[in-house]
Structure 1
Amino acid sequence: MKAEWRLRVTKCDIDKISKEANISKIVAKVLTNRGIKKVDEVKKFMNTSLNDLYDPFLIKDMEKGTDIILDAIDEGKKIVVYGDYDADGVTSTTILYKALLKLDANVKYYIPDRESEGYGMCSDRITTLKEEAAEVILTCDNGISAIEEIKLAKSLGMQVIITDHHELPFVENEGEKKYVVPDADAIINPKQSDCPYPFKLLCGAGIALKFVQALYIKLGIDEKEAYEFIEFAGIGTICDVVDLIGENRIIAKHALKMISKTKNLGLKSLIEVLGITGGEIKSYNIGFMIGPCINATGRLDTAALSVELLMCEDKEKAEELAKKLYELNKRRQEMTIKNVEEIIEYIETSELKNDRVLVIYKQDVHESIAGIVAGKVREKFNVPTIILTKGKNMPKGSGRSIEEYNLFEELVKCKELLDKFGGHPMAAGLSIKEENILKLRQKLNENCKLTENDIIPKIKIDKRIPLSIIDYIFIDELEKLEPFGKGNSSPLFAEKNIEIINIKIMGKNQNTLKLTCKMNKKDTIDAIAFNKVEELKEILKEKHGENYMKILNNPIGLKLDIIFYPSINEYNGHKSKQLKIKDFRISKELNNK
């Protein structure tokens, strides 16, 4: 489906913001497009400071939760950090476990097995932990939905502190939501309506960081010592795809600086295995390289391997673990590609292609990759997608959505068909009896209010700019807007009628385009487009018929409109300007022969 191009429009005095904040007009326009319109907000965004982190005690129950842990440390009680198997869960577990060890706590950590226990707390595991003499459970990145499990823990005499960031569960009665939370000793989750904390979008690792800050303050330790954990919190923040604004931006930006010079043996080894040494680590490296390796352990082995890597203090062991993570991720990638291709073919040859909400049951999908597969299929069709696979006791899976569709709330409307579910507006996990799958598909589609326009992908362009203005100073200023991600997307620019003087097809799979574009009468710039070879062939074929191969080999007169992001390409010590292409189309003004 071809995307619709939209130029962002904002009503602001760009000249004034540019002058007073001492930034270029283009960067001022990019920031106002993201809702950052006041000069003081712009300055704060451009100059992130750890001093701008909020007081952790503003979070509801932080006082209560840290008191319980400090008393447990004093009394030698056994504390269990109960984490999760994704990158956010792994990093938040590492933060809490490492900090509590430093405070001489009697502590262990536990991360559930994805296949046998699933997400969140498990009643059988709680019973086992009690048998192992656990007295205090400290959750991270989970717990807010564990009503029955925490009830069990309390009945067994354990204290429970929840640190979580997920949406609160609720029941709906005549259109009114009534939130239901577990009967824990302390619930530390800024999403509670009566929590006064000013920033509601922290991930699990961000909240774990705040918890450690609060512990240190109470013990009279300089809270800045807690900043050693920022590199872990930054990985969780970027990988959990929370909005990279406010505190999340501060954490992520400072984490990237730390990771680029990390002293953590595990991270260092993983960076070396991935071949991203010798330069600054960017959000892309975390989100698409480091994060997936951490996630792969929880998908295909045990996430405890990732915690072990981040805790490792032996160089040889760290190298061994890093290689294992890399190989697991490679295997996960191969499994993902195979399943995505099979599911897309199935959808395109069945009545499912007409659905506004895709619900696919494919028994042989490894349940650990259901969410990734759902995301890839969603990208292809731009509709909410749920991928279900054969679970241990019943089918289970994951869903990924589009901005116009709140998947979590739509699943709430179908809760009578579900055994268990939870998540966010954009992502959810669920388990369901096989006989209810078709009913779920039908009900979600009957309730769906997405219009034809809603499901057309939209690409939002920050500004139209001529290629001739792109220089190293301009690119450097754009890079100061890093880290990019949800809430702070990479800036996108566009230009029309760009003359293409050479086309090269590259890559192991011959799916990468390298276009040589004219900047002005004498200068050119290379532009890279990943996975766009077939698309270019198709639009050229549509325009020129069977002669399209001649244009590919000799693009004289070919002009394209392109959407791009300017960047620096470094290869063998050589630097050059480069455009990363998001989308392209043949220029309407074109009159090719």
Structure 2
Amino acid sequence: MEKWFIKNIRADYKAISKSFGINEVIGKLLVNRGIIDNTLIKSFLNPKFEKMHDSKKMKDAEKASLILKDKIEKKRKIRIIGDYDVDGVISTYLLFTALKRCGADVDYDIPDRVKDGYGINKNIIDKCIMDSVNTIITCDNGISAIEPINYAKEANITVIVTDHHDIPFVENEKGERTFVSSNADAIVNPKQIECAYPFKSLCGAGVVFKLIEILYAEFKIHKEECYNLSQFVAIATVCDVVDLVDENRIFVKNGLELLNNTRNIGLRALIRQTAIDDKKISTYHLGFVIGPCINATGRLDTAKRGLQLLVTENENEAVRLSKELFDFNNERKEMTQKGVESAINIIENTNMTKDKVFVVYVPEVHESIVGIVAGRIREKYNVPTIVLTKTENGAKGSGRSIEGYNMFEELMKCKDILLNFGGHPMAAGLSLEENNINNLREQLNFNTKLTDEDLIPKITLDMGMPLEHISYDFVKDLSILEPFGKANPKPIFGEKKANIVSAKVIGQNHNVLKIKFFSKNRRYIDGIFFGDIEEFQRLVIDRYGTVELNKMYSGIENNVNLDIAFYPDINEYNGNVSVQIVVQYFR
């Protein structure tokens, strides 16, 4: 059973509401999201490109631009080295498009997830040497590639790094950390300690955009051309799950408008292939439809297919590639489901259910989807989870964490039995010898400070909200907060003892619950629930009995009253528009 909390952040949200001409609920929601500074509020409520920060404040961004301009003018060969995830593919596309626009002799390479691993490496640099590449520019990788970049420099290759990942460090016996960097000619990453750039949460494509902004200015290319690229930055920003505030909000808000009228042949083909061409594209479609298709080829084949889709100017090729991406993603879904089922079977049939940190070895799961499987297991059990699979060089895997458990720091304590690891508080990647898997499980569980209380899922409500206050105008007011995502989730409201007048199970797979509520001022309001219907029924039966459940399903007067957590929405069906609430949780 989850624990429910209401956010109670102290701030004068009434003054904020008055100052910015918004209702008090919106003011409270802004405060709940930590958006209190006047400049941030202005940018949040009116996310225009003009409110972005000066790109030249980002360390080495102007320096990198001048290096690239010089290389372009001297016709030097430039190669982009991207990453195989959505952010890496989009970043590579952005750089390739921008450098081509500036007249560069440029191509790209993306490592193979399984054969090459993450980021730039010696083999990729050897290919550059063979191809007489003069300049390498990385995107969404490179910040920790100390040795490979030093190797490239020894070969007299100019290297520019653009990245957004945490800066690597070495730690002495006292636990003191010294941050390290490569000998790259320019390193563009806002997370560098010496970088004065005010917004540190850009994804890789966001960092690349800031570099392009300066480069286009150098070549006297109109800003509108640069702003048009925000539709691609929006995809990467949502899929890389960075905070949708400040500049990320500007990218996504404006990028979505451009995406709904995109002229990119590949994107248009993918939108048709995924059957969302009749819908208004939202962050949901980026994160759960478009992004996974681009990502799937990097997992099961080569990420270059996704990049080719974005680059192509041939309609037939776009149709072919979009179908390939779509099919790869369906295959990835099936593989993921099997991997999740195998992991659950292992957890339920061992003593692992007593662990506070799961380390699950599923030898048959594909290396490219262990992170997705770990995420699904974490969601099901609310336990930090590492899923490992068998590879030629031992076991390799990914971890996904919960709030309050810093996975990277906990793995640091086990580094003596790990071959390799990296990551951040909420996710990590690692490899180790198979015979050390049990040791890792034991060490992580021995070291953990997690309590049973920490593992209880927590439902955080923005505020209580009587159902009678839900109206079309209220939902319209809430839309000013869109697009929703990390650090700006959909508002969740709560109502105690909501009376359920009637309910029925609907949907092709009978997995949706349609509910009619009766508010305290005697008004009906519709609700919809996409969660676990069997769990809902058990809850009602345990509290009220089977008779009351049957009355509720028959629309007969009943005693079923439940606390609900919900967000308001507009339901459009067959030309009819009505207000409804989307129920997230019952108790």
TM-score per shorter chain, which class?
over 0.9
- Structure 1 Cα separation of the partners of residues 552 and 398 of structure 2: 41
Contact 2:270 2:319 in 1 (8 A): yes
How is 1:288-367 mapped onto 2 (pairs within 5 angstroms)? 288-367=288-367
2:159 match: secondary structure: strand
Partner of 1:28: 27
- Structure 2 Cα separation of the partners of residues 135 and 525 of structure 1: 65
- Displacement of 1:453 after TM fit? 2.3
Partner of 1:378: 378
Partner of 2:570: 568
| Amino acid in structure 2 at the alignment position of 1:47 | N
1:262 match: secondary structure: coil
- Displacement of 1:210 after TM fit? 0.7
Counting matched residue pairs gives 584
2:229 match: secondary structure: helix
Single out whichever of 267-276 and 353-362 deviates more from structure 2. Answer: 267-276
TM-score of the aligned structures, taking structure 2 as reference length: 0.95
- Displacement of 1:168 after TM fit? 1.2
Q: Deviations over 1:149-179 (max 9, x none)?
A: 2122222221211100111111222121111
Partner of 1:254: 254
Q: How has the CA–CA distance of structure 1 residues 548 and 308 changed in structure 2, closer, same or farther, with 3 Å as cutoff?
A: farther
1:390 match: secondary structure: strand
- Structure 1 Cα separation of the partners of residues 571 and 415 of structure 2: 49
| Amino acid in structure 2 at the alignment position of 1:372 | I
Partner of 1:589: none
- Structure 1 Cα separation of the partners of residues 166 and 39 of structure 2: 31
**Structure 2: 5+ residue stretches without partners:** none
- Displacement of 1:279 after TM fit? 4.2
Partner of 1:590: none
2:453 match: secondary structure: coil
1:243 match: secondary structure: coil
- Structure 1 Cα separation of the partners of residues 577 and 412 of structure 2: 52
Partner of 2:484: 484
Single out whichever of 549-558 and 574-583 deviates more from structure 2. Answer: 549-558
- Structure 2 Cα separation of the partners of residues 418 and 60 of structure 1: 34
| Amino acid in structure 1 at the alignment position of 2:409 | E
Partner of 2:62: 63
Partner of 1:431: 431
- Displacement of 1:221 after TM fit? 2.4
Pairing 1:111–2:110 present: yes
Partner of 1:194: 194
Partner of 2:137: 138
- Displacement of 1:507 after TM fit? 3.3
- Displacement of 1:194 after TM fit? 0.9
Single out whichever of 46-55 and 266-275 deviates more from structure 2. Answer: 266-275
2:394 match: secondary structure: coil
- Structure 1 Cα separation of the partners of residues 509 and 360 of structure 2: 28
Q: How has the CA–CA distance of structure 1 residues 573 and 323 changed in structure 2, closer, same or farther, with 3 Å as cutoff?
A: farther
- Structure 1 Cα separation of the partners of residues 106 and 223 of structure 2: 21
- Displacement of 1:372 after TM fit? 0.8
- Structure 2 Cα separation of the partners of residues 56 and 475 of structure 1: 36
Single out whichever of 238-247 and 540-549 deviates more from structure 2. Answer: 540-549
- Structure 1 Cα separation of the partners of residues 345 and 582 of structure 2: 29
- Structure 1 Cα separation of the partners of residues 38 and 133 of structure 2: 52
Q: How has the CA–CA distance of structure 1 residues 324 and 20 changed in structure 2, closer, same or farther, with 3 Å as cutoff?
A: same
2:454 match: secondary structure: coil
Contact 1:537 1:548 in 2 (8 A): no
Partner of 2:467: 467
- Displacement of 1:554 after TM fit? 3.0
- Displacement of 1:548 after TM fit? 7.2
- Displacement of 1:513 after TM fit? 1.9
Single out whichever of 396-405 and 124-133 deviates more from structure 2. Answer: 124-133
Contact 1:501 1:516 in 2 (8 A): yes
Q: Deviations over 1:69-117 (max 9, x none)?
A: 2222122222111011111111111100111111121111111111111
- Structure 2 Cα separation of the partners of residues 320 and 208 of structure 1: 29
Contact 2:540 2:560 in 1 (8 A): no
Contact 2:501 2:552 in 1 (8 A): no
| Amino acid in structure 2 at the alignment position of 1:130 | I
Q: How has the CA–CA distance of structure 1 residues 502 and 552 changed in structure 2, closer, same or farther, with 3 Å as cutoff?
A: closer
Partner of 2:585: 583
- Structure 2 Cα separation of the partners of residues 295 and 41 of structure 1: 32
Contact 1:283 1:483 in 2 (8 A): yes
1:395 match: secondary structure: strand
- Structure 1 Cα separation of the partners of residues 99 and 404 of structure 2: 42
Partner of 1:165: 164
Q: Deviations over 1:383-414 (max 9, x none)?
A: 21111112243321111111211212222332
Single out whichever of 318-327 and 274-283 deviates more from structure 2. Answer: 274-283
- Displacement of 1:40 after TM fit? 4.9
Contact 2:112 2:298 in 1 (8 A): yes
- Displacement of 1:550 after TM fit? 2.5
- Structure 1 Cα separation of the partners of residues 571 and 335 of structure 2: 30
Contact 1:475 1:567 in 2 (8 A): yes
**Structure 1: 5+ residue stretches without partners:** 586-593
- Structure 2 Cα separation of the partners of residues 448 and 512 of structure 1: 39
- Displacement of 1:549 after TM fit? 5.8
Contact 1:115 1:391 in 2 (8 A): no
| Amino acid in structure 2 at the alignment position of 1:430 | L
Contact 1:257 1:280 in 2 (8 A): no
Q: Deviations over 1:28-64 (max 9, x none)?
A: 1111111223555433311111111111111111122
Partner of 2:266: 266
Contact 1:568 1:577 in 2 (8 A): yes
Single out whichever of 371-380 and 353-362 deviates more from structure 2. Answer: 353-362
TM-score of the aligned structures, taking structure 1 as reference length: 0.94
Q: Deviations over 1:257-279 (max 9, x none)?
A: 11112111222222222222344
- Structure 2 Cα separation of the partners of residues 180 and 435 of structure 1: 32
Partner of 2:504: 504
Contact 2:43 2:246 in 1 (8 A): no
Partner of 2:536: 536
- Structure 2 Cα separation of the partners of residues 138 and 574 of structure 1: 53
| Amino acid in structure 2 at the alignment position of 1:529 | F
Partner of 2:11: 12
Contact 2:5 2:460 in 1 (8 A): yes
Contact 2:420 2:430 in 1 (8 A): yes
